[in-house]
Structure 1
Amino acid sequence: MSDEDISTAFREHPLAGDDILPSLQVETAPIEEIINMPKRKTNWKQSVVYQIYPWTFNEDKQRNPQKGNGSIRGIADRIPYLKDELGVDAIWLSPFYPSPMKDGGYDISDFTDVHPDLGTIEDFDHMMKVAHQSGIRVMVDFVPNHTSDQHEWFQKSRNREEGFEDWYIWHPGKTSENGERQPPNNWACVFSIPNRQARDRGEMPELEPHDWTPPISAWQWDDVRNEYYLHSFAVEQPDLNWSNPYVREAMKDAMRFWLDKGVDGFRVDAVNHTGKNMEFPDEQINTAYDEAWCENPYDQ
């Protein structure tokens, strides 16, 4: 599919322009500018890729003296250094999207914008132009498994707004013999380390030395919807329901947005978590590894 096809598909997509994703006006570089770009290595395996965490790279203390944040403009300013002194062929940007920052920016509240503390979309366009003129490709982090709980999609889903009811993975849970509410199954979130830390502080004296540390459930009760939602990572990162075709299309639209901005590729985060067994069976305890190598006993 050509760039023109992708742009046209985005603009004509039934979701474009409504409250799921904003309508977009895409500007492309003049053809002579593209033709005159320096030659770049075409094989990623042979390229020097430099990862940038935008919040700390080339901190702009004049722009934000208290936080000392990096910025998208700050990345553009250092492109000559990356190219000429380090010999970088491509840069990989960690999340720079709007986010409450509960997990280093991987809890995204808007997939098609720049965090205001890092700059603007115009700053991103400028950075892309500078990088490409220097022969540096740009790869960005794409996080398909989850959003922030502050994302408007989640807020609509928890309130059962029409069309958004199953954009996330919800479940009423089950009831114990004592009549207590319980999560649907024993799935553990990746971030079970707090329980390990609590045990190290002596807060779980009932456990014998060789007992497994209880993992943290991947299910969180929501008082607004009165159901559990699944979070493979932090409680503030509800998992998207990839069995929903509208979710898949919305995420494709987000990728098309950045492709139209000129990005050369995506580093897809936590892609192994997107597929779920929707029958929600319990996990069996994994005995292949000692707990020292696992965050919880169900880790593979």
Structure 2
Amino acid sequence: MSRPDPAEGTPIHRLLDDREGLPHADGAARRRHALLVVATLVPTVLILAGSVSAWPLYALPIALSLPLGGPRAMAAAGAVASLTVAYASGRPGADGAAMALGVAAFLVTGLAIGAGHRAQERDARRIANLSLIDRLTGVHNYAFFADALPRECRRAERYGLPLSLVVLDLDRFKAFNDRHGHDAGNRLLTAVGEAIRASSRASDIAARFGGEEFALIVPGPAEEALEAAERIRAAVSRVSVLVAGGESAGTTISAGVADFQNGDGDDGTRMLDQADKALYHSKASGRDRVSLFAPEHRWAAAS
């Protein structure tokens, strides 16, 4: 079993660059921003100089702001327009139309700012999800697992809740890769990830532990973890992918289960070690099976 470097995937700065709908800090973006600034300043200067009738000119920067700069640019243009018109409306001799325009502009600005905030929240959630998901299998990556396991252990310790851990490893995956190629191996890992997600409960935390190895944090006793591991084992046994020659091929998976012992201050290290030993017991006992940790388990030379 192999466990490569934990954080696998795309660096965060590349994720930021790949976001759709957000302007990049390049020359084209700077030119677009300069155009918006000029288009907004022209009516602003005219209105502040006394030409209140110039307010229709704000239609241009507000109309261009969303496609050229996104929700934040629209909010900025709307804010400048609303504040300027509201200021002009308070002058002696200003008519009611200008005042009504100022109120409407404030409403539009509020909507634009709200849209900008929602877009930022969606981007933040998307980036956070991408940085914590293994892109090949669709389950959480090792970085997420490394934070989640001690956190769940602390929660179980604090509230006296049961907690269990399942460690799973594909059987003879190296032989599968050697025979069918790494592309087929990657497609198999993707299909296994889908099977694990489909077989897990919403409260379970599934992660790719490394290479062909997976882990499942189960907020429940060992009996529930054994049931979860058995569901995954059965699901993976039905997984197959197309390989050279138009044939279908798959493999099986072995699992080890351990539970959290409240009161011993375990941060997950002991539970992980015991689940590993149970996994090796499954491997040494013939593979394609689930084992619960027992003190007599020893490390076995299985692959």
TM-score where L is the length of structure 2: 0.20
Highest CA radius of gyration, 1 or 2? Answer: 2
Give the TM-score normalised by the residue count of structure 1.
0.20
| Higher relative helix content | 2
